[in-house]
Every structure is written in C-alpha cells, then in structure tokens.
C-alpha cells in the first residue's frame, strides 16, 4: 500500500459571481505526489472518504491553474465552496487537515451512529449504557447522546410539541453526525417517535453509518415498568401528548437491528449489547 506523503496546496479553478441569487460553487482540487517504483505493474486507487482519484503522469509544476488532462484531480473531502445555505449567506466550508480517516486510525474504530428508538420504558437508556460499557471494555470510544440529557443542555429550549420533537431529533442527528465524523461510536438513545424525523437523520450519514436499533417492547410491558412514573401521570391526564398514550409511536419499517430478538424476550441488557457489538464487528466498525 502506498502511503500519501505530501499534498500540494489546493488550486482553485472556477469563476464565481456574487450579484445573483445563486452563488456558483468554487471547487478546489489538490495534487497528491506519489512516487511509484519503476517495476510496478499495476496500481489500484481507493479512498475511504468518497474522494475522487485519478492517476496521471507527473507533470511539471505550474503556478497557473491548468484544466488539461495532465492535471491530476483529487477532490471530495477537500471541496471548498462559497454557498448560500438556508438563512446564512456567505459561508465557506473550511478544509480541516486532520480528517476522519486519521482519527479513525488513532482510535482503531470507525465512527458511526447507533440510533436506539422505542417507547418510554422500552430499555433504550439501559441498552445504551450496557453498550457503552461493553465498547469501553474493548478499548473503543463511544458516547451516549441521551434524549433526556440533551434536553438539559442543547435542547433546553424545546418542548414536546410535534414541531419541537422534530427539531429535537434534527439537532441530535446533526450532533451525532459530528461525533461520527470525529471517529466516535455515537449512541443516540432517543424516543424519536416519528418515522420521517428518524429518516432525516439517517440521510445525514453515509450509507451504513446510521444503525437503527428498535427496542420493540409492547406498550403493556413498558407501562408496567414505568421507570419514571410517566405513564401513570399520562393516564391521569397530567401529561398530554405522551407517546404511546395520546401521541403515536411509528415503528421502523427497515431498521438494522430489532431487540429483543424474536424468541428471546428475556435477553438481558448485556446480552442485547453483545448483539449490537457483533453487528458492529461484522460491519467493520470496531477496527480502523
């Protein structure tokens, strides 16, 4: 395997205008210098970060941008664009030189999001803790984004009305994405009752990096457990819009894992955590 030793500075090669409503993306490309042995018969290029690679012969250095076929192109993570994005204009994507791949090498794992969804009392937080412990004992770095905990900080300004629930999920999804980018195994433990909102979070991440775990525990069992006394309050009419009582829970149609597994309703949190760990191992997340 050839290890990249140097990256030449990015060269911009596009024009842009500011007067119109649409700002034209300004693409930056980078050159990568590979020294290949003369006896090399073939070269295979691969990248883990969706970068596009083209192998061309070495060309002499030039201070002016060139668009002929002799220019090597290496784009993807190094895109630099000036964009209008929602309400904020004139924002620029800054290239960071230490990337996800580097962090994953250091941590010897791949960042991802394990999204645990289910009714209140279905065991989401319990599984999240067991999973976190199991990962830690294997020397892996994980972090739990618990819905209740996040509502103590980042999402303290949000209520439980439908639109606020959607915003709660959106923000948690965006933060989980950042954690995954940092190389961390991010365990989001959030009721997240609406399918649309969970799907929107899935779309934020590359294919495979969003692992939806459905805690499929019947309402009756959750209500019997009632770990926080909330079902009792909801039945007494003291909480309105409580999921499972007077607000819907939309179960996933295509999740990666469903727990407990069929025929094993008595699985302990540790046993369920091991099922998730096996999945992660199989898919290669527990190595760089």
Of positions 229, 253, 262, 263, contacts other proteins by CB under 8 A: 229
Scanning 40-190, the segments in alpha helix (DSSP H) are 100-107, 124-137, 147-150, 162-181
CB 161, CB 205: distance < 8 Å: no
| Minimum distance from residue 18 beta carbon to other proteins (Å) | 6
The reply to whether 192 belongs to the active site is yes
Which residues, listed in sequence order, are joined to residue 212 by a DSSP beta bridge?
A: 115
| Minimum distance from residue 50 beta carbon to other proteins (Å) | 16
Return the number of the residue (71 or 199) whose C-beta is nearest other proteins.
Answer: 199
φ, ψ for residue 273, nearest 5 deg? -60, -40
φ, ψ for residue 181, nearest 5 deg? -65, -30
Nearest to 190 by CA among 43, 200, 182, 29: 200
Return the number of the residue (183 or 244) whose C-beta is nearest other proteins.
Answer: 183
| Minimum distance from residue 131 beta carbon to other proteins (Å) | 10
| Minimum distance from residue 75 beta carbon to other proteins (Å) | 18
Which residues, listed in sequence order, are joined to residue 75 by a DSSP beta bridge?
A: 52
Nearest to 179 by CA among 128, 263, 111, 119: 111
Of positions 2, 45, 91, 224, contacts other proteins by CB under 8 A: 91
φ, ψ for residue 74, nearest 5 deg? -140, 95
Q: Residues 173, 179, 182, 183: is their CA dihedral positive or negative? A: negative
Pick out residues in 136-195 that bind other proteins (CB under 8 A): 136, 139, 141-146, 148-149, 151-160, 164, 171, 174-175, 177-179, 181-184, 189
Pick out residues in 231-250 that bind other proteins (CB under 8 A): 233, 239
CB 186, CB 179: distance < 8 Å: yes
Quick note: the x/- pattern for other proteins over 114-133, rule CB under 8 A, is: -----------x--xx--xx
DSSP string over 176-192: HHHHHHTT-EEEEE---
Return the number of the residue (36 or 227) whose C-beta is nearest other proteins.
Answer: 227
Return the number of the residue (86 or 263) whose C-beta is nearest other proteins.
Answer: 86
Out of 30, 120, 125, 192, the active site residue is 192
Residue matched to tokens 């004139």: 90
| Minimum distance from residue 141 beta carbon to other proteins (Å) | 6
Binding site for other proteins (CB under 8 A): 18, 82-83, 85-98, 102-103, 106-107, 125, 128-129, 132-133, 136, 139, 141-146, 148-149, 151-160, 164, 171, 174-175, 177-179, 181-184, 189, 204, 228-230, 233, 239
- Name the residues annotated as catalytic: 192
């Amino acid at each position: 395997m050839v290890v990249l030793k140097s990256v030449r500075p990015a060269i911009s090669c596009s024009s842009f205008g500011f007067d119109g409503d649409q700002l034209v993306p300004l693409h930056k490309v980078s050159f990568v210098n590979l020294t290949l042995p003369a006896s090399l018969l073939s070269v295979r290029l691969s990248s883990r970060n969706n970068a596009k690679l083209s192998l061309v012969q070495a060309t002499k250095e030039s201070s002016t941008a060139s668009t002929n076929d002799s220019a090597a192109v290496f784009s993807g993570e190094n895109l630099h664009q000036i964009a209008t994005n929602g309400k904020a204009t004139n924002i620029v994507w800054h290239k960071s030189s230490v990337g996800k791949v580097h962090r994953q090498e250091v941590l010897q794992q791949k960042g991802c999001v394990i999204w645990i969804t289910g009714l209140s009392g279905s065991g989401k937080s319990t599984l999240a803790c067991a999973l976190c412990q199991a990962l830690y004992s294997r020397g892996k770095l994980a972090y739990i984004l618990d819905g209740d905990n996040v509502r103590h900080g980042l999402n303290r300004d949000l209520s439980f009305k439908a639109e606020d629930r959607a915003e709660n999920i959106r923000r948690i999804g965006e933060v989980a994405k950042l954690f995954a980018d940092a190389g961390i195994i991010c365990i989001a433990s959030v009721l997240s009752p609406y399918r649309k909102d969970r799907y929107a979070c899935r779309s934020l991440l590359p294919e495979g990096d969003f692992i939806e775990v459905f805690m499929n525990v019947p309402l009756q069992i959750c209500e019997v457990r009632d770990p926080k006394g909330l079902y009792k309050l909801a039945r007494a009419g003291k909480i309105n819009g409580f999921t499972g009582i007077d607000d819907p829970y939309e179960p996933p149609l295509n999740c990666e894992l469903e727990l407990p597994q069929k025929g094993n309703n008595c699985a302990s949190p540790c046993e369920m955590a091991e099922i998730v760990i096996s999945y992660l191992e199989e898919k290669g997340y527990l190595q760089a």
